[in-house]
Structure 1
Amino acid sequence: MALLIPIVGVNFTSVAVESLLYGVFLLLSAISFYLLFTKEKLSDRPRSSRFSALTTPLILANIVITTAVTGHWVLSLVRTVDAHLRFNNGDTPQEYLEDLRRPVFLASTAILIVTLITGDCIMIYRLKTVFKYNRSTIVFPLCCLFGFIACGIGTVFQFSKLSSEHNVFLASIGIVFTFITNVFCSSFIAFKIHRVNSAATNYNGQNLGSITGIIVESAALYTSWTIMLMAAFLAGSNLVYVFADTISVITGISFMLINVRIGLGWAIDLAKSLERSTAHSISLRPTNASSAIRSVDDRRTANYQMRSLTVHVERTVVKESSEDGVSPGVDLHGSLPAKELESVSDRASSKQTHERKGYI
Structure 2
Amino acid sequence: MSESPPWVNLAGLAVGGPLYGIYFSLHVASTVLVLRRSEGPRAVPLYRSVIFVLGWLLFMSVTANWAVTVWHNVAGFIVFKSGTAAPEFFNDSSQITSLVQNIFVAISIVLGDTMIIYRLWIVWFRNKYVVILPTLSLIGLFITTVLSVQTASHVNNLAEIVGLTPTLVFTLFTNVYSTAFIAYKLWTIIKESSSVGGNQLLNFLSISVESAALYSAWGIFYIVTHQINSDVQIVALMPVPAVAGIANALIQTWSGLGKAIQTRLGSSSRTISATEVRFRTATDTEAGSRTDAVELKPTTSSNGF
TM-score after normalising by structure 1: 0.70
CA contact 1:5–1:239 (8 Å) conserved in 2: no
Aligned AA (1:39)? R
TM-aligned CA distance change 1:206 to 1:178, over 3 Å: closer
Kindly indicate whether residue 142 of structure 2 is the aligned counterpart of residue 149 of structure 1: yes
Aligned AA (1:156)? V
Q: Root-mean-square deviation (CA), in Å?
A: 2.1
What CA deviation, in whole Å up to 9, does each residue of 1:264-291 have, x standing for no partner? 13212224438xxxxxxxxxxxxxxxxx
Q: Sequence identity, in percent?
A: 25
Q: Which residue in 2 is equivalent to 1:78?
A: 71
Q: Secondary structure at the match of 1:236?
A: coil
Q: Which residue in 2 is equivalent to 1:109?
A: 102
Displacement of 1:140 in angstroms is 0.5
CA contact 1:69–1:248 (8 Å) conserved in 2: yes
Q: Which residue in 1 is equivalent to 2:224?
A: 231
Gaps of 5+ in 1: 275-360
Distance 1:185 1:80 in 2: 36
Distance 2:158 2:220 in 1: 22
- 216-225 or 160-169, which deviates more: 160-169
Displacement of 1:235 in angstroms is 0.8
Kindly indicate whether residue 184 of structure 2 is the aligned counterpart of residue 206 of structure 1: no
Aligned AA (2:59)? T
Q: Which residue in 1 is equivalent to 2:276?
A: none
Distance 2:125 2:41 in 1: 19
Q: Which residue in 2 is equivalent to 1:35?
A: 33
TM-aligned CA distance change 1:165 to 1:75, over 3 Å: closer
Distance 2:70 2:131 in 1: 38
Kindly indicate whether residue 228 of structure 2 is the aligned counterpart of residue 219 of structure 1: no
Q: Which residue in 1 is equivalent to 2:188?
A: 195
Aligned AA (1:29)? H
2:80 alignment partner, one of 82, 87, 103: 87
Identify which of structures 1 and 2 has the higher relative contact order when contacts are C-alpha pairs closer than 8 Å and 6+ apart. 2
Distance 1:254 1:205 in 2: 24
Displacement of 1:88 in angstroms is 1.9
TM-score after normalising by structure 2: 0.82
What CA deviation, in whole Å up to 9, does each residue of 1:135-191 have, x standing for no partner? 111010000000100111111111112221652111111111111000000011011
CA contact 2:137–2:170 (8 Å) conserved in 1: yes
Aligned AA (2:10)? F
Please show how residues 139-288 of structure 1 align to structure 2 within 5 Å: 139-164=132-157, 167-201=160-194, 206-207=198-199, 208-273=201-266
Q: Which residue in 1 is equivalent to 2:119?
A: 126
CA contact 1:99–1:164 (8 Å) conserved in 2: no
Distance 1:55 1:114 in 2: 21
Distance 1:43 1:98 in 2: 56
Kindly indicate whether residue 92 of structure 2 is the aligned counterpart of residue 99 of structure 1: yes
Gaps of 5+ in 2: 268-305
CA contact 1:33–1:62 (8 Å) conserved in 2: no
CA contact 1:120–1:178 (8 Å) conserved in 2: yes
